Structure 1
């Protein structure tokens, strides 16, 4: 047996301290008083996030600053550094996407997420909007778990290259173009992964190591088109734990009712 193969037999410790170097600490929420009231009917968003974080033994819950309009948002962004912007559209949905584009030009490093109630009318109007300034659109279903999932998805995206390619953390590829569906499934997926990580962390010798081990959970990466899915698969191919895919989504710029089947065949051909 040569030396290269022999080295593969040794167990290597995961450098947990090198994981999740980029975190979301400050969130700017742009929402009208009415939308904010509906979101906070079960308590303040920041308090709900804190309860979710403590229940899952997660450290450093983010702080949430709310502003009711974009004029206030620009002033707030000038005075403090934010790691994530979440906007809830008002009556004029187009305003949100126009302002998102402007903010993205000024602060390209800050992820911009649109959080909107689900309805057929909203879906129809979204189809005509310019998404160039928006990273993701989510459907608000009245569950604070979605906010936790959004934050974790953004953190996974921010840390994916280092944590997956350098440290070797595994990842789950979710392929779905339905805003309503991935807004529903991501909270459950993250809750499951975080609870499993919590169980795994009990093997640590002390509380500090427990928190470090919580960082070692599998990442979740979201793709919304065939091309995006294949790009992510090829990039992280050796660390893909599994692929969860829809059947029908965009392929070559058009809706393909068998895109998921074709994706599965291509991935299986590359990694049977």
Structure 2
């Protein structure tokens, strides 16, 4: 009897330890958001994107247990009142017609709360270059562009959580990372929105296939691949060296800054350098310049046109196999499809 009790206790301890890893992952969660916007922009978001409805749907549909509370303010006094009273996790400053006022507010926030993540969200592409001049100068932490979908907010939240949790999650659970190198806020705003949908959709399918425990499903979502974002060659290499053992997919633009100057072939140079240190890492190249496609193909690099009409479908079709998700396709030696297994029980 005692022997059986010890075996049972040993089994329970082993199972508990396994689950504890998931409990310890993603210690930083966005629970309180301060949204700074004038009344017109706030109304526009809610009307055009059904903001609250879509956010709630996304969190529920992706088996995410906690929905962040969003507090909207429109004046500088209200901003600091909320920052003093609540434990705000991130601030999103929306920019409408008046560009200087939001810039002034975000600068003041960083002055008094230097560790507070402040993301600026533009409602069009016209002011991107203007705001990029202030990025990284203690004014705001990241710049995004409204792409017509309220899901951009979900992407911003998850990006911040990934940024904050990357070190912890790789250390305790070797969580895999996707490295994206893109200098255009317009494009990475769109990419992140799509990529998070792909990642959560595929992760949920895998979890649902192997587990029936709802709590366990929620916990295992924390082990999903995380996203790292760089805007130039040096940032990309810094992230690569820090997470070299965990990066399993590289998605890069072709042209961006390298050594302080715009380099039209920076993406190719980055891939070449990374492949020397970590050969055969799955790579996707994105560009507006279609002439780069044949060059990428010749080098064995998957190429996607940024301006493709069905960009989300192209990303989904290309990214899914490279991150190890999706259906298992049986082929013969000539790569002719013989059968498809969508779930493990179909093997």
Q: TM-score, normalised by structure 2?
A: 0.71
Determine which of 159, 163, 168 is the counterpart of 1:153.
Answer: 159
Give the C-alpha shift of residue 96 in structure 1.
Answer: 2.2
CA distance in 1, matches of 2:146, 2:49: 16
Aligned runs of 1:7-26 on 2, under 5 Å?
Answer: 15-26=21-32
Quote how far apart the aligned CAs of 1:57 are: 1.3
Structure 2 gaps of 5+ residues are 1-16, 280-347
5+ long unaligned stretches in structure 1:
1-11
Residue 64 of structure 1 is aligned with which of 37, 58, 70? 70
Is the 1:94–1:129 Cα contact (8 Å) retained in structure 2?
A: no
Q: Which residue of 2 aligns with 1:229?
A: 236
Q: Match for residue 284 of structure 2? A: none
Question: Within 1, Cα distance between the matches of 2:177 and 2:254?
Answer: 20
CA contact (8 A) 1:27 1:86 kept: yes
Relative contact order: is structure 1 or structure 2 higher (C-alpha 8 Å, sep ≥ 6)? 1
Task: Check conservation: 1:114, 1:136, Cα contact below 8 A.
Answer: yes
The within-5 A match list for 1:127-206 is 127-129=132-134, 131-132=136-137, 133-202=139-208, 203-206=210-213
2:92 pairs with 80, 86, 100, which one? 86
- State whether residues 96 and 123 of structure 2, in contact with CA within 8 Å, keep that contact through their aligned partners in structure 1: no
Mapped to 1, the partners of 2:112 and 2:56 lie a distance apart of: 30
Residue 123 of structure 1 pairs with residue 128 of structure 2: yes
User: What is the match of residue 243 of structure 1?
Assistant: 250
Larger radius of gyration: 2
Q: What do you get for the CA RMSD once the two structures are aligned?
A: 1.8
Q: Deviations over 1:215-268 (max 9, x none)?
A: 110000100111110000000000011100000111112211111111001000
Q: Which residue of 1 aligns with 2:269?
A: 262
Partners in 2 of 1:46 and 1:143 — Cα distance?
12
188-197 vs 13-22, greater mean Cα deviation? 13-22
Distance 1:18 1:83 in 2: 19
User: What CA distance in whole angstroms lies between the structure 2 residues aligned with 1:115 and 1:130?
Assistant: 12
Aligned residue for 1:154, secondary structure, equals helix
TM-score relative to the length of structure 1: 0.90
Total equivalences in the alignment: 260
SS of residue paired to 2:275: helix
CA distance in 2, matches of 1:218, 1:255: 30
1:114 equivalent among 120, 123, 131: 120
